[in-house]
């Protein structure tokens, strides 16, 4: 999934979308995933990273990850919904 | 750099919960690098807060309402000018614009410069003309129709579906869910703003706005898009944030280019979930949230004054997105003798 190009993500997990003016607060896990997505990492790469570095099993992470992605789409943070 | 001393007359000192643009315009001019401004306030009511804000307004004169006739308003302005030598006049009320646009030559002859839209530009963007405007300038607009009598309310369907918007000629808009509510709002709006009342299709989406300044030759001198983040029960922005939205800027420059818009303006748009932009209104003046544009890097009132004085103005090329404004209220303590002076002499 591609994120909007101009999305600003701070170290604190504060996310600002300058196109819509909306802002969001993420926890550490959300911030890490969003930063990896911004770097262009694939779902597989992100999953591997989390499974290797955190105590989480494949199914639990995948479920949480898909839920998170759906939320990004819902809030128009992904590029799919962006016009320009 | 030595600043040039000028005198600027500004109306719209009603810095209330339905604020006029006067005080933010003055604030922008006070921050000018080019002008050292003396501000002459023009007030219609004796409780407009700006009258008593002496750090912003040097002197205030009461002026008659435009509804009492252009001639009275102009005569009063001529009197004020004989004392103050006004260089530039920035009117900030929709209702007074017609008088000043149609008399801009007369004002010029006594040394007062304005930078207002032409009468054609002013008339064709009226809410009642929005459908033709959209067609002519290739802009999406919600379907709308002016109505002049209560009996027309029952002819609205199937042309319109509920809910719909009931709008006043100059200000105010209400959502109506049935003909009875339309009738209620119709009566309220007619008594306040007169006919016609505009019935408009209700477009679901986010309200976004652009403040812009056109040079009258088709060039956009500046433009800043904004989304209201806090809206009062009167629908006014009490907070907002600047956006980085290329489509809104494209739409603005396209309208200014085609219409050769002269002066300040505000585009009110609805952005749908499908990322379509519907133009719902063009306000032919600087909006009350103008100071956000100044804070984001575009001092549009200063540029407007330069244009009014015939100076060349280089268009702004950027602004900062993510700049916010948050309004607040403040209780001023005013001595009765000030109120008395304004009420009895019409000057303070």
Instruction: Label each residue of chain B as H, E or C.
Output: CCCEEEEEEEECCCCCCCCCCHHHHHHHHHCCCCEEEEEEEEECCCCCHHHHCCCCCCEEEECCCHHHCHHHHHHHHHHHHHHHCCCEEECCCHHHHHHHHHCHHHHHHCCCECCCCCHHHHHHCCHHHHHHHHHHHCCCCCCEEEECCHHHHHHCCCCCCCCEEEECCCCCEEEECCHHHHHHHHHHHHHHHCCCEEEEECCCCEEEEEEEEEECCCCEEEEEEEEEEEECCCCCEEEEEECCCHHHHHHHHHHHHHHCCEEEEEEEEEECCCCCEEEEEEECCCCCCHHHHHHCCCCHHHHHHHHHCCCCCCCCCCCCCCCEEECCCCCCCCCHHHHHHHHHHCEC
Residue of A nearest to B324 (CA): A21
pLDDT computed for residue B12 by the predictor: 95
Output the average pLDDT for chain A: 89
Taking each helix axis from N to C end, the angle separating B246-259 and B130-137, rounded to the nearest 10 degrees, works out to: 100
Q: Residue B50: its pLDDT value, please?
A: 96
Where is the domain boundary, B157, B184, B201?
B201
**B218 vs B158: CA distance, rounded Å:** 39
* B36 occurs within a structural domain: yes
pLDDT in tens, B94-120: 889 999 999 999 999 999 999 999 999
Q: Does A71 touch chain B (CB under 8 A)?
A: no
Structural domain including B77 reads 4-115+331-345
Smallest CA–CA distance from A7 into chain B, residue? B244
B124: in domain: no
Q: Which tokens belong to A64?
A: 């949480």
Domain shared by B65 and B23, yes or no? yes
Provide the b/e sequence for A9-44 (b: ≥16 CB within 10 Å). Answer: beeebebbbbbbbbebebeebbbbbbebbeeeeeee
Burial level of B319, CB count in 10 A (0-12/13-18/19+)? buried
Residue B170: which of B203, B198, B133 has the closest Cα?
Answer: B198
Per-residue buried b or exposed e for B24-41, using 16+ beta carbons within 10 Å of the residue's own CB: bbbebbeebebbebbbbb
Strand B197-201 to strand B173-176: parallel, antiparallel, or no bridges (unpaired)? Answer: unpaired
Output the pLDDT for position A82. 46
B249 against A83, higher pLDDT: B249
Q: Assess whether pLDDT exceeds 60 at residue B132.
A: yes
A24 touches B: beta carbon within 8 Å:
no
Q: Do A21 and B243 touch (CB under 8 A)?
A: yes
How large is the angle between the packed helices A43-53 and A28-38, nearest 10 degrees?
140
Residue B340 covered by a domain: yes
Place of tokens 């304005």: B114
CB under 8 Å to B346, separation ≥6 — which residues?
B61, B62
State whether A19 and B245 contact (CB < 8 Å).
Answer: yes
| CATH code (residue B169) | 3.30.1490.20
Supply the mean pLDDT for chain B: 94
Q: What is the rounded average pLDDT of the residues B321-334? A: 95
For residue A84, give the nearest of B226, B227, B246 by CB distance. B246
pLDDT at residue A80, rounded to an integer: 63
Q: For B78, what's the count of Cα atoms within 13 Å in the CB-facing half-sphere? A: 13
Q: Which of B158, B177, B201 is the last residue of a domain?
A: B201
B242 touches chain A (CB under 8 A): yes
A14-17/A22-25 β-pairing: antiparallel
Do B74 and B147 belong to one domain? no
Rounded Cα distance between A40 and B323, Å, is 28
Q: B275 at the A interface (CB within 8 A)? A: yes
Question: Domain ranges in chain A?
Answer: 8-79
How many angstroms separate the CA atoms of B199 and B220, rounded? 31
* Cβ within 8 Å, pair B244-A8: no
Percent residues over pLDDT 90 in chain B: 84
Q: Does a structural domain hold residue B152?
A: yes
pLDDT reported for residue B194: 87
Q: CA B88 to CA B71: how far, in whole Å?
A: 19
B247-275: burial string, b at 16+ Cβ within 10 Å, e else: bbbebbbebbeebbbbbbbbbbbbbeeeb
Mean pLDDT of A51-68: 95
How far is the C-alpha of B315 from the C-alpha of B307, rounded, in Å? 11
Residue A83 pLDDT > 80, yes or no? Answer: no
What number is the average pLDDT over the span A17-42?
Answer: 93
Between chain A and chain B, how many beta carbons pairs sit less than 8 Å apart? Answer: 27
Going by DSSP bridges, is the β-strand pair B4-11/B35-43 parallel, antiparallel, or unpaired? Answer: parallel
For residue B204, what are the CA distances in angstroms to A51, A72, B134, B142, B291?
Answer: 42, 21, 18, 11, 28
Write down the pLDDT at residue B171: 78
Task: Tally the domains of chain B.
Answer: 2
Using CA atoms, how far apart are residues B22 and B287, in angstroms rounded to an integer?
9
Is residue A84 very low, low, confident or very high in pLDDT (cuts 50, 70, 90)? Answer: very low
The reply to whether residue B243 touches residue A82, judged by beta carbons under 8 angstroms, is: no
Q: Give the pLDDT confidence of B191-220 residue by residue, as tens digits.
A: 888 889 999 999 999 999 999 999 999 999
Q: Which residue has the higher pLDDT, B153 or A80?
A: B153
**By the CB < 8 Å criterion, does B244 face chain A?**
yes
Q: Does any CB of chain B come closer than 8 Å to the CB of residue A75? A: no
Query: Taking CB atoms and an 8 Å limit, are B206 and A82 in contact across chains?
Result: no
pLDDT of A4 reads: 85
Same domain, B17 and B82: yes
- Chain B closest-CA separation from residue A76 CA (Å): 9
B334: closest CA of chain A, how far (Å): 39
Can you tell me the mean pLDDT for B40-62? 96
| Measured distance CA(A68)–CA(A63) in Å, rounded | 9
> Which residue from B minimizes the CA distance to A74?
B273
Write out pLDDT tens, residues B252-303.
999 999 999 999 999 999 999 888 999 999 999 999 999 999 999 999 999 9
């Amino acid at each position: 999934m591609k994120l909007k190009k101009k999305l600003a993500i701070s170290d604190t997990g504060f996310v600002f979308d300058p196109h819509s003016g909306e802002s969001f607060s993420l926890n550490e896990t959300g911030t890490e995933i969003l930063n990896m997505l911004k770097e262009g990492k694939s779902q597989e790469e992100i999953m591997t990273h989390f499974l290797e570095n955190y105590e989480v099993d494949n199914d639990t992470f995948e479920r949480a990850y898909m839920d998170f992605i759906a939320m990004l789409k819902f809030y128009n943070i992904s590029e799919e919904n962006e016009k320009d | 750099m030595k600043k040039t001393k000028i005198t600027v007359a500004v109306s719209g000192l009603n810095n209330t919960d339905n604020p006029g643009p006067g005080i933010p315009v003055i604030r922008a001019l006070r921050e000018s690098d080019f002008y050292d401004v003396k501000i002459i306030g023009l007030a219609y009511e004796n409780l407009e807060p700006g009258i008593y804000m002496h750090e912003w307004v040097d002197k205030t004169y009461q002026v008659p309402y435009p509804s009492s006739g252009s001639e009275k308003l102009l005569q009063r302005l001529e009197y004020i000018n004989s004392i103050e030598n006004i260089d530039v006049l920035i009117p900030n009320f929709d209702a007074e614009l017609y008088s000043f646009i149609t008399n801009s030559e007369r004002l010029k002859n006594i040394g007062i410069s304005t930078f207002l839209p032409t009468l054609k530009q002013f008339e064709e963007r009226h809410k009642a003309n929005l459908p033709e405007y959209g067609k002519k300038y290739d802009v999406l607009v919600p379907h709308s129709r002016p109505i002049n009598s209560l009996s027309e309310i029952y002819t609205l369907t199937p042309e319109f579906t509920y809910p719909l918007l009931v709008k006043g000629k100059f200000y105010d808009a209400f959502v109506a869910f049935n003909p009875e509510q339309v009738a209620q709002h119709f009566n309220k709006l007619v008594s306040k703003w007169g006919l016609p009342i505009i019935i408009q299709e209700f477009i679901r989406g986010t309200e976004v706005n652009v403040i812009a300044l056109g040079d009258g030759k088709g060039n956009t001198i500046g433009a800043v898009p904004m989304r209201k983040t806090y809206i009062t029960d009167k629908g006014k922005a009490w907070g907002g944030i600047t956006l980085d939205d290329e489509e809104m800027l494209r739409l603005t420059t396209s309208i200014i280019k085609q219409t050769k818009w002269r002066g300040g303006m505000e585009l009110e748009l609805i952005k749908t979930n499908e990322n379509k932009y519907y133009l719902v209104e063009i306000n032919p003046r600087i909006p009350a949230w103008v100071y956000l544009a100044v804070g984001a890097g575009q001092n549009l009132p200063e540029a407007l004054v330069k244009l009014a004085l015939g100076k060349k103005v280089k268009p702004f090329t950027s602004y900062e997105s993510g700049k916010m404004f948050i309004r607040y209220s403040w209780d001023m303590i005013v001595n009765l003798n000030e109120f008395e002076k304004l009420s009895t002499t019409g000057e303070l």
